[in-house]
């Protein structure tokens, strides 16, 4: 395919992740975006605990029961802004990420595969710890951020308070595209700062449908909304005087962030967010290889695997590897090369993913997320390519802080237990550590957060019918070491040495004081820090 055609397809695409602290409304926002793109006819979340349904992006029973996302999912859909004159719609690749800090490693993998991020903030709570950590990851990776203040239909802070908090705490200058009309808890509509017009939202039953919009000029808005409109105009004027207007270059440079006020539950402000993503979020671009060379989007096909997931559909015991296409055109059935092994890899079973639902995909382009079925040889961070060789930097494993031994309850399930452990390890649900003393019957799970252990045991039961026992271990710190240092470390009290499935040798320590003592008394031993989840 010609580079002109690929360039045209790339310009149509927007690939982004939604990041937030738990319970900021991330999965509900994902549903609302899909609703406004007419990919679903009714939002999955409705008012009332008794009638609340799981969103399309939450497919695990654990997610449905708790109402939180514990794994990332991808959704692809077409969207055409009302004002667009383009002959073809935009292709939206949206990745819904886990909000809970225990799953920050999964979120980090997703952020290696997107070109922009939507930072969702609860109107009442403002910036929260997990939001701050994720923003730092975006800044480190050069990912531009659109800020969305959600839950504006509930009591919360004022717009200026939220703007000041973001500016002061993370050094990012918010540039609101709209000013909300009505205080938090009394969300009436938006003042469009570029046109001066008023967009009034009408509620629908339970917020399950797209909220009708009524467009008014300033005079009509003043007559309808009175003081609320006047206050919005005053805030608009103040923001202009402070220079907080959208600047595309500063946004792409990570200095400013377009800001929108929404209610995902009511579907207010959602169309405005989609339009902003299409207008301002950057299209896919090239990626640097481990050799420092740039793989341009028009170069031959290449892709990076950022997630492996099984158990999404109980009727299909398959394993899905999510790959982000970096360059060239993907054609289903093409035989590519797996950079890590040098072996050929057939792509006969390739699927576009919409939450839990799938459909066969024949062609895809840079920015698209494609699922490869039964990709047993692939792991997060792997590279696939055609023609000229390329390998992209690996995705680092985070430093685990929680450690538990895992055992099967009955011996007759041992074979299924081994298979299940290998699958959880390959997906990166937890890191699996082994040594000769514990053997395969009692591998150690290493995790950033303890909820990862719950996911393992729940999925082992649901997918393999294996009941397990989790035994917490008295370790809290891991360091990378080597074969030469391992014997001495194993002789130390409060230390145990393991080998991770990728071959890394890790020493686990009971606490920081034990680590400090050994570093002082045995300075010749190799003890390297691992990548911290907050880095």
Binding residue ranges for GTP: 96-100
- Gap between the Cα atoms of 13 and 174, Å rounded: 25
322 in Cβ contact with 305 (< 8 Å): yes
- Bridge-based pairing state of the strands 302-310 and 319-327: antiparallel
| SS3 label, residue 94 | strand
Quick one: tokens of 386? 């055609």
Q: For residue 473, which of 449, 446, 434 has the smallest C-alpha distance?
A: 446
Annotated binding residues: 96-100
Q: 123 pairs with which residues across the strands?
A: none
| SS3 label, residue 211 | coil
Query: Burial letters for 359-370: b for 16+ Cβ neighbours within 10 Å, e otherwise?
Result: eebeebbbbbbb
Task: Tally Cβ neighbours within 10 Å of residue 89.
Answer: 15
| CA contacts within 13 A on the Cβ side of 337 | 13
Query: Burial letters for 396-411: b for 16+ Cβ neighbours within 10 Å, e otherwise?
Result: ebbbbbbbbbbebeee
Q: For residue 269, which of 208, 224, 213, 204 has the smallest C-alpha distance?
A: 213
Cβ-in-10-Å burial (0-12, 13-18, 19+) of 50 comes to exposed
Q: 358 pairs with which residues across the strands?
A: 353
Q: Which helix (H) or strand (E) holds 118?
A: strand 116-122
**Residue labelled with tokens 């799938």:** 358
- Gap between the Cα atoms of 304 and 382, Å rounded: 6
**Residue labelled with tokens 């409060």:** 494
- Gap between the Cα atoms of 365 and 384, Å rounded: 14
């Amino acid at each position: 395919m010609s580079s002109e055609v690929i360039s045209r397809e790339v310009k149509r695409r927007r690939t982004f992740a939604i990041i937030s602290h738990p319970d900021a409304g991330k999965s509900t926002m994902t549903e609302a975006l899909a609703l406004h793109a007419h990919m679903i006819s009714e939002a999955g979340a409705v008012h009332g605990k008794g009638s609340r349904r799981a969103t399309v992006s939450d497919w695990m029973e654990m997610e449905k029961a708790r109402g939180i996302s514990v794994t990332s999912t991808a959704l692809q859909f077409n969207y055409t802004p009302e004002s667009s004159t383009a002959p073809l719609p935009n292709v939206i690749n949206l990745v819904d990420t886990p909000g809970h800090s225990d799953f920050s490693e999964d979120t980090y993998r997703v952020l290696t595969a997107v070109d922009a991020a939507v930072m969702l903030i609860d109107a009442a709570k403002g910036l929260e710890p997990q939001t701050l950590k994720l923003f730092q990851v975006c800044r480190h990776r050069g990912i531009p951020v659109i800020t969305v203040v959600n839950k504006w239909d509930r009591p919360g802070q004022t717009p200026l308070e939220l703007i000041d908090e973001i500016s002061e705490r993370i050094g990012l200058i918010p540039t609101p595209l709209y000013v909300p009309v009505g205080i938090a808890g009394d969300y009436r509509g938006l003042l469009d700062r570029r046109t001066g017009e008023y967009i009034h939202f009408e509620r629908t039953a339970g917020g399950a449908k797209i909220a009708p919009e009524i467009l008014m000029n300033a005079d009509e808005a003043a007559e309808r909304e009175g003081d609320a409109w006047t206050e919005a105009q005053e805030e608009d004027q103040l923001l202009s005087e402070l220079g907080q207007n959208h600047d595309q270059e500063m946004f792409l440079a990570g200095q400013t962030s377009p800001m929108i006020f929404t209610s995902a539950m009511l579907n207010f402000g959602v169309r405005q967010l989609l339009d902003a993503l299409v207008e301002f979020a950057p299209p896919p671009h090239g990626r640097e290889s481990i050799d420092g060379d740039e793989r341009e989007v028009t170069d031959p096909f290449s892709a990076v695997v950022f997630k492996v997931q099984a158990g999404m559909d109980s009727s299909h015991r398959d394993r899905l590897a999510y790959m982000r296409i970096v360059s060239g055109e993907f054609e289903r059935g093409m035989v590519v090369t797996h950079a890590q092994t040098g072996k050929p890899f057939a792509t006969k079973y390739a699927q576009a993913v919409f939450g839990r639902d799938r459909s066969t995909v024949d062609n895809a382009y840079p920015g698209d997320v494609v699922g490869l079925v039964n990709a047993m040889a692939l792991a997060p961070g792997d590279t696939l390519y055609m023609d000229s060789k390329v390998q992209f930097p690996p995705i680092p494993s985070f430093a685990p802080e929680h450690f538990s031994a895992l055992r099967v309850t009955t011996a007759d399930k041992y074979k299924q237990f081994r298979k299940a452990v290998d699958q959880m390890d390959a997906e990166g649900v937890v890191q699996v550590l082994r040594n000769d003393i514990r053997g395969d019957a009692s591998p150690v799970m290493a995790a950033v957060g303890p909820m990862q252990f719950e996911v393992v045991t729940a999925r082992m039961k649901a997918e393999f019918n294996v009941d397990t026992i989790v035994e917490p271990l008295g370790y809290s710190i891991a360091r990378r070491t080597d074969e030469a240092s391992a014997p001495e470390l194993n002789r130390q009290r409060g230390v145990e040495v393991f080998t991770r499935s990728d071959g890394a040798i890790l020493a686990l320590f009971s606490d920081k004081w034990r680590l400090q003592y050994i570093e002082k008394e045995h300075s010749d031993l190799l003890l390297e820090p691992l990548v911290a989840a907050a880095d």
